[in-house]
Amino acid sequence: MTQQMPVAWVTGGTGGIGTAICRSLADAGYQVLAGFNNPDKAKTWLETQKADGYENIDLSGVELTSFEACQNGVRDIREKYGPISVLVNCAGITRDGTMKKMTPDQWDVVIDTNLNSVFNTCRSVIEDMLESSYGRIINISSINGRKGQFGQVNYSAAKAGMHGLTMALAQETATKGITVNTISPGYIATDMIMKIPEKVREAIRETIPMKRYGTPEEIGRLVAFLADKDNGFITGANIDINGGQFMG
Ligand code: CAA
């Protein structure tokens, strides 16, 4: 039964936004493979999904900064569930700090995890998508890749770079049944946001016209929309979902 479901791979699937994306795609009838970083957390996370009735969610953790690991991970998914038809690049980290204090390590780890990983995953799935003349790639970027953010030269650069990749790959695949799009969430109520010092966080919230953070479920629904096979005329687009905080 599950072998016949279309397959979706969600990197960062066990995170705040990732979890909502996994559930939304599972609700839409996909066999979902959630990428993860922390095996212990992932095991508990999967138990929760199963307890909540999500039989069609499983784990697939690969080191996204390694091209070889991504190739092997995609091969393993193909062998067990079939080729991936939906890839959601949702894995991401922050290492905030102003330029004058930022270390080369803080720069490198964010570029590797948030941007180089997107090449590794897209390159690993693209041949199967071209072969089947079908695919949906959805890159979860950020409002801060659109407008920049004080204290985030690394993150803003990586997230802006994601959309450059989106637009280029969308052109390469436009006649092949594959769409490639970027979603740029604003501040969403997750653990990542809670790491921002409270005073700074509250000041940011005041700049959101809706005066609230977004919910992970709001992102999940948008991903499911773009993943839908009937929504095939949107490609190379960036969709802002930020409560009006940035209108570009
Ligand atoms: N704009 C202008 N000035 C700012 C500022 C801002 N947004 N934030 C801080 N400053 C000023 C401070 O007032 C301070 O000024 P003075 O030196 O004149 O007093 C100076 O910059 C230094 O600020 P800090 O004391 O905060 O410096 P710090 O080194 O302790 O911290 C920081 C710097 C780590 C960048 C901290 O300000 C911070 O965490 N900012 C939040 C960054 C942020 O928004 N990250 C988003 C994470 S969530 C995410 O990324 C998800 C997503 O996609 C949306």
From 106, 114, 150, give the residue whose CB has the most ligand 1 atoms within 8 Å, as the site to mutate.
150
72: Cβ below 6 Å to ligand 1?
no
Fold of 7-241: Rossmann fold (3.40.50)
**What are the structural domain ranges in the chain?**
7-241
Nearest-CA residue for atom 39 of ligand 1: 196
> Whole-angstrom Cα distance, residue 143 to residue 173?
25
156's tokens: 């803003």
- Count of CB atoms situated within 10 Å of the CB of 100: 5
Residue showing tokens 């993150």: 155
What distance in angstroms lies between residue 118's CA and the mean position of ligand 1's atoms?
27
- HEC string for 109-146: HHHHHHHHHHHHHHHHHHHHHHHHCCEEEEEECCHHHH
Instruction: Give the chain's length.
Output: 248
Atom in ligand 1 nearest the alpha carbon of residue 204: 44
> Whole-angstrom Cα distance, residue 167 to residue 145?
14
Nearest-CA residue for atom 6 of ligand 1: 150
220's tokens: 């999940």
> Whole-angstrom Cα distance, residue 56 to residue 104?
40
pTM of the model: 0.96
240: Cβ below 6 Å to ligand 1?
no
pLDDT, one tens digit for every residue, the chain (248 residues): 445 899 999 999 999 999 999 999 999 999 999 999 999 999 999 999 999 999 999 999 999 999 999 999 999 999 999 999 999 999 999 999 999 999 999 999 999 999 999 999 999 999 999 999 999 999 999 999 999 999 999 999 999 999 999 999 999 999 999 999 999 999 999 998 999 999 999 999 999 999 999 999 999 999 999 999 999 999 999 999 999 999 98
Q: Give CA separation, 38 vs 48, 63, 101, 167, 196, in Å.
A: 15, 11, 28, 31, 22
What distance in angstroms lies between residue 65's CA and the mean position of ligand 1's atoms?
27
Atom in ligand 1 nearest the alpha carbon of residue 188: 54
> Whole-angstrom Cα distance, residue 239 to residue 185?
8
Q: Annotated catalytic sites, by residue? A: 155
